[in-house]
């Protein structure tokens, strides 16, 4: 179909539900086959629009390569992406859901570490006493690196997390972590505490578009206002 518009939406959880609701409130009813593991949908009475349900991170990738025209995903995932990919994506609107903070958290037992300055001091202690760098577990290596460098922290090593980042300090895989959190409860439940000045990024769900599709998309985007 010549004027087909492809939209990527989160495939699970509250982000999926809120994304569907966002379109529904604008008179666009999303229909999805109820079969298990069905990743495709449509919008009622809009045969030129195709919905694909994807992992939020993949939505960013597919917007960047032009596979998707429009997508809903997190600002954190866009900012974590490669600079060249970010240049290919427009932020059309910040939405009123999916709010979360990317933060630096340390074990509760580190009572003398309250700020980034304290963290830098202890990183030098670890280097001097153990000849090792402070290990920081994270799923956000780019944002974490940029933040720590901007704060003058140098004696650290990034450990890429594959899941359950909050466990890393307690299984010997890292000393501290950076992680995304909505309420901080999961961190607190795992005996972790956010540094007083440890906010890296305030994120929210956003409506994104592929830059190279701007002209084609404008009439549809106007209907979302």
Q: Which domain holds residue 145?
A: 100-203
Question: Looking at residue 134, which CATH number applies to its domain?
Answer: 3.40.190.10
- Model confidence at 213: pLDDT above 90: no
pLDDT at 35: 66
Domain check: are 116 and 199 in the same one?
yes
Q: Of 85, 62, 59, whose CA–CA distance to 74 is shortest?
A: 59
Q: Which two tokens stand for residue 127?
A: 């280097």
Domain check: are 115 and 144 in the same one?
yes
180 vs 222, residue with greater confidence: 180
Domain check: are 107 and 80 in the same one?
no
pLDDT at 19: 97
Domain check: are 116 and 194 in the same one?
yes
Cα 80 to its chain centre, rounded Å, is 7
> Across residues 92-101, what is the average pLDDT?
95
Number of domains in the chain: 2
Quote the mean pLDDT of the chain.
94
pLDDT at 30: 93
Domain check: are 106 and 120 in the same one?
yes
| Cβ proximity of 68 and 58 under 8 Å | no
Question: What is the pTM for the complete model shown?
Answer: 0.91
Q: What is the pLDDT of residues 16-29, one digit of tens each?
A: 999 999 999 999 99
Domain check: are 164 and 111 in the same one?
yes
Domain check: are 71 and 151 in the same one?
no
Give the pLDDT band (50/70/90) at residue 36: low
- Model confidence at 1: pLDDT above 60: no
Q: What is the pLDDT of residues 176-198, one digit of tens each?
A: 999 999 999 999 999 999 999 99
Helix residue spans in the chain (DSSP H): 13-24, 56-64, 75-80, 83-86, 116-130, 141-150, 185-189, 214-222
């Amino acid at each position: 179909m010549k004027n087909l518009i492809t939209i990527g939406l989160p495939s699970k959880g509250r982000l999926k539900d809120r994304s569907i609701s966002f379109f529904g409130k604008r008179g666009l009813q999303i229909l999805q086959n109820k079969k298990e593991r069905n990743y495709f949908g449509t919008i009622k009475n809009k045969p030129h629009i195709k919905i694909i349900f994807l992992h939020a991170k993949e939505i960013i990738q597919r917007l960047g390569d032009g596979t998707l025209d429009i997508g809903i995903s997190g600002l954190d995932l866009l900012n974590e992406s490669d600079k060249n990919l970010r240049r290919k994506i427009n932020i059309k609107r910040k939405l009123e859901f999916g709010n979360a903070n990317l933060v630096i958290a340390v074990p509760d037992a580190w009572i003398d570490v309250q700020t980034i300055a304290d963290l830098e001091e202890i990183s030098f202690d670890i280097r001097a006493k153990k000849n090792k760098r402070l290990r920081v577990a994270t799923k956000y290596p780019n944002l974490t690196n940029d933040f720590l460098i901007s704060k003058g922290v140098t004696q650290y090593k990034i450990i890429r997390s594959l899941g359950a980042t909050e466990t890393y300090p307690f299984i010997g895989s890292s000393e501290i972590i950076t992680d995304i959190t909505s309420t901080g409860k999961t961190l607190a439940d795992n005996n972790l505490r956010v540094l007083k000045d440890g906010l890296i990024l305030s994120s929210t769900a956003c409506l994104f578009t592929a830059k190279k599709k701007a002209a084609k998309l404008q009439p549809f985007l106007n209907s979302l206002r």
